[in-house]
Amino acid sequence: MKLDHSEVGPSSVLHLLHRAGQCAEELFAINVGRAEITPRQFAVLKAIAGGQDQSQTSLVESTGIDRSTMADIVHRLAAKSLIRRRRTRRDARMYAVSLTEKGHAALKLAEPAARSTDQRILACLPQAQREAFLRSLARIVGAIGAPGDPRGVR
C-alpha cells in the first residue's frame, strides 16, 4: 500500500496515529473493566505511584500531559477518591498529590490491563519490528514534545 502523506485523509500519518490511539484506548477500556479509569488517568496514577507527594507540575513534566488537562484529570481522580490532593508546605499555591488506598487498588487492577493492551497492539507487528516501532514512537515524542511545551515542535 502506497501512502499519500500530502493531505490529511485516511492514509495520512496524522489520521493513522489518531486511529491507532483510538484503537489503543478502546482496547484499554475493554481490558481495564471495573477499574473504570482512562489511559491518561492510568498514566497519572502510575506517575504518582512512582514518587512521593508529586506536584501537578511534576506530573505534567513526567507524563507530557498539558497543564489544563492534568488539572482536570487530578480533579476527576480526587472526585473518585483515587488520589489525595493537598497544598504543599513550600508553596501554598501548589498541590501535592498522592494515591489513596483506593487509588493503589485501582492501579493494581489496571496494570494487567495496560500490559495486555500493549501486548495486543505489539502482536499486530512482526516480532522483528516491535522494538523499532517503540523506538520510533519514543523518537517522535522526544523530537516534537508535548503540545504547549516551548521546547517542543522543533
Give me the tens of pLDDT residue by residue for the chain, a chain 154 residues long. Answer: 555 555 556 778 999 999 999 999 999 999 888 768 999 999 999 999 987 768 888 899 889 899 999 999 999 999 999 999 888 777 777 788 999 999 999 999 999 999 999 999 999 999 999 999 999 999 998 898 755 554 444 4
Sign of CA dihedral 123, 124, 129, 130: negative
C-alpha cell recorded at residue 28: 484499554
| pTM beyond 0.75 | yes
Domains and CATH numbers, the chain: 13-144 (1.10.10.10)
- Residue 39, CA distances (Å) to 6, 32, 111, 130 in order: 31, 9, 11, 21
How far CA 105 is from CA of 54, 100, 111, in Å, comes to 19, 9, 10
- The pLDDT value given to residue 34: 72
